[in-house]
Amino acid sequence: MTEERYVIWFDEPECDQVAVAGGKGASLSSMVRQGLPVPNGFVVPAGVLEACVDAEALKAYARAQDYAAAMKLVEDTAVVPQEVMTAYEELGGKVAVRSSASAEDSEAASYAGQQETYLNVVGAEDVRRRVIDCWTSFFSERALFYRGQKGSLDDLRMAVVVQQMVDCVFRRIRPPIPTTSGHLFRGIRPPVTRCREAAYFGYQS
């Protein structure tokens, strides 16, 4: 592997660069450096993937939009540096492992939602696996098609965010419901605990 920093914490100056930490990572770093209450975490920088696989073979598969071969290469051969698991041990507990694209969004292109995010990841081995899964998602059929239209298929740079998860409670307002009197009823749903995904996808209502 070439010389590369494998872990950059949110409070480090380098982490606020999109080219290094991706959009999510840079935004989280900016909030931390402004003193906002953000759960702690770190970024596996965007250049690490290229250092951990056969980059030329991966680029060739990407150019051909052979997503199956590209994903298999990453799944089978990518090696997550030990520094990543060591940094996770410093955080401990449940974390979110989130893809963080380093390509700049523009009026014509938005990379949000093109790669994967994993919640409630526990243990160094699961973190290692989910980092690889995030890298792999960068070469999914959808992601390669989008980059072929809006970006560069030679781009192997994608950061991964590892961030502590916190339990939370919040309430949701029901949409207005017409009543027989003609007035709108506005109700408050029961609180959702632990994970906002449960509310967003309707797992908890």
Buried residues in 34-65 as b, exposed as e (16+ CB within 10 A): eeeebeebbbbbbbbbbbbbeeeebbbbbeee
Residue 45, in any domain of the structure: yes
Residue 182, in any domain of the structure: yes
pLDDT digits (tens, 9 = 90+) for 97-122: 999 988 654 444 455 566 899 999 99
- Domain match, 130 and 188 both: no
Residue 126, in any domain of the structure: yes
The one-character DSSP state at 13 is G
Instruction: Look at residue 203 in the predicted model and tell me its pLDDT.
Output: 46
Pairwise CA distance, residues 50 & 113, whole Å: 22
Based on the structure, what is the number of domains in the chain?
Answer: 2
Cβ proximity of 161 and 175 under 8 Å: no
Per-residue CA distances from 176 to 15, 43, 130, 184, 198 (Å): 43, 42, 40, 6, 21
- Domain match, 110 and 62 both: yes
- Domain match, 127 and 195 both: no
Instruction: Look at residue 43 in the predicted model and tell me its pLDDT.
Output: 98
pTM of structure: 0.79
Per-residue CA distances from 180 to 81, 107, 176, 183, 184 (Å): 63, 46, 13, 7, 9
- Domain match, 68 and 159 both: yes
Residue 205, in any domain of the structure: no
- Domain match, 25 and 109 both: yes
CATH number at residue 84: 3.30.1490.20
Residue 3, in any domain of the structure: no
Per-residue CA distances from 135 to 167, 170, 192 (Å): 27, 32, 31
Q: Which residues contact 125 (CB under 8 A, 6 or more apart)?
A: 85
pLDDT digits (tens, 9 = 90+) for 61-106: 999 999 999 999 999 999 999 999 999 999 999 999 999 988 654 4
Average pLDDT, the chain: 83
Pairwise CA distance, residues 202 & 9, whole Å: 33
- Domain match, 120 and 188 both: no
Pairwise CA distance, residues 34 & 174, whole Å: 34
Residue 1, in any domain of the structure: no
**Half-sphere CA count of 174, side-chain side, radius 13 A:** 11
Look up the domain containing 58 and give its range. 8-165
- Domain match, 142 and 195 both: no
- Domain match, 110 and 185 both: no
